[in-house]
């Protein structure tokens, strides 16, 4: 396994509605200096319909068990299980599913880190079919965004740029 997955700027950008990107940026800036995380819901015809915020509980996990969780919420995310289970149940009732999982990087670039890859590729990861979105932020600024996808569970993640889709 490679150490990390970067965005290949030569690939065609993924198009995501501008309204949804704004919600994503707002969540990332609101969560600073910690990483934010959440889900994007949609269906086959319209992949990116709605964003739902989840709590990042990595800091609490780190404080309770720093050996098992050596990083805090500024450097990593751990999506609150109740949050995502509740949202998935609500989404399924409406015929939607989780099409992407997002998180932010605070003060670092847009890529999937070795830890992000381990989490996304582990048996325990709840959304193996979902794409991954990473947004890079500092205190008041969004620096970049990338979308990572793979051809199948055993295929590597490939990162592409994102451009806003305006209605
Ligand atoms: Zn990350």
68 C-alpha to ligand 1 centroid (Å): 17
Question: How does pLDDT run across 78-120, given as a tens digit for each residue?
Answer: 999 999 999 999 999 999 999 999 999 999 999 999 989 988 8
- Which residue is associated with the tokens 């590597």? 156
Q: Is the pLDDT of residue 2 over 80?
A: no
Confidence of residue 123 (pLDDT cuts 50, 70, 90): confident
116 C-alpha to ligand 1 centroid (Å): 5
Q: Is residue 9 within 8 Å of residue 163, measured between CB atoms?
A: no
43 C-alpha to ligand 1 centroid (Å): 25
User: SS3 string of 101-143?
Assistant: EEEEEECCCCEECHHHHHHHHCCCCCCCCCEEEEEEECCCCEE
Confidence of residue 154 (pLDDT cuts 50, 70, 90): confident
What are the residues facing 142 on neighbouring strands?
Answer: 137
120 C-alpha to ligand 1 centroid (Å): 10
Q: Which of 127, 70, 68 is nearest to 103 (CA)?
A: 127
């Amino acid at each position: 396994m490679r150490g990390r997955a970067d965005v290949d700027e030569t690939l065609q950008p993924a198009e995501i509605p501008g309204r949804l990107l704004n919600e994503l940026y707002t969540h990332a800036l609101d969560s600073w200096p910690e990483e934010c995380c959440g889900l994007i819901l949609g269906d086959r015809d319209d992949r990116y319909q709605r964003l739902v915020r989840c709590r990042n509980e990595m800091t609490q996990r780190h404080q309770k068990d720093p050996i098992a969780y050596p990083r805090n919420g500024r450097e990593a995310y751990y999506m609150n299980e109740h949050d995502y289970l509740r949202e998935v149940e609500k989404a399924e009732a409406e015929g939607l599913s989780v099409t992407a999982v997002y998180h932010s990087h605070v003060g670092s670039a847009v890529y999937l880190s070795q830890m992000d890859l381990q989490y996304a590729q582990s048996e325990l990861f709840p959304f193996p079919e979902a794409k991954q979105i990473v947004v890079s932020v500092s205190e008041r600024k969004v620096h970049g965004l990338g979308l990572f996808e793979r051809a199948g569970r055993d295929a590597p993640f490939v990162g592409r740029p994102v451009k806003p889709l305006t209605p």
